[in-house]
Amino acid sequence: MTRRALVLGGGGLTGIAWEWGVLTGLAEAGVDLGDADLVIGTSAGSVVGAQVANGLAPRERYEAQLLPPDGELAAALGRGMMFRFALTMVGSRAPQRVRQRIGRIALSADTGVTEADRVGVIESRLPVREWPADTALHVTAVDTETGAFRIFDATSGVPLVRAVAASCAVPGVWPPVTIDGRRYMDGGMRSAANADLASGYERIVVLAPIPRGIGPMPGTFTQVEALRRESEVALLTPDPDAVAAFGKNPLDPIRRAAAARAGMIQSSALVEQVRKVWE
């Protein structure tokens, strides 16, 4: 039996919206990625993945992206924070050591938002808040203290909302999320999509709003190249119009509707590529 995996990468609010646009356009063209055996969600992709794996209709979730972004908190990575991130690349380039240094930023940053409030925002994005029963869902995060990579799933004993909130905890922007006494940050600190987790699946589709790696973080292109040695893989990344729709700040809720529409428009050019891999 052929096993299929859907990988949904990070990319902020615009990444969520673009992914829903693409998924909706594909589904309405007859290519429904919701029947994946495994869904892997990182950061923004964990929000989308939690809903895809629970069987929510893409069109409904797409239309939600077009509504005014009430309840969303605007944020941005300022120059000062970007400089602090750059400093984490100084010294040992071992990936886990770099993640430890980023974790220290996450723990010390004054984000102006409480952990409880941030978890509440994530909860508001999830119409279904339980782990899916029929589809394997993997949600990624990183331990702020050790830099260790963590995969949450239905067997982890962790509420889905907290797992997704941890995966979306951009260091320096949002507070880390506490799970079993540990504090976790964005799973994109290991890789923007963590596509390598789909290894072993025969057919794989990867949606990567931010495909390139930073420093020692492996980029999605590199991971997909490795997957293609054994699997059929379609890698979907934003086209120039979608990149323009995202704007300069992927965390700006005002850009959400434009990003969703861009994903929907782009999907028509992706249908045959995805169909060939998926079916």
| Token duo for residue 213 | 């790696």
Contacts of 15 (CB under 8 A, 6+ apart): 9, 43, 44, 45, 209, 210, 246, 250, 259
Single out the catalytic residue among 186, 191, 252, 267. Answer: 186
Q: For residue 222, which of 202, 243, 194 has the smallest C-alpha distance?
A: 194
Contacts of 98 (CB under 8 A, 6+ apart): 88, 89, 92, 147, 215, 216, 217
Q: Is 43 a catalytic residue?
A: yes
CA distance 185 to 170: 6
CA distance 107 to 111: 10
Single out the catalytic residue among 43, 167, 191, 267. Answer: 43
The catalytic site residues sit at 43, 186
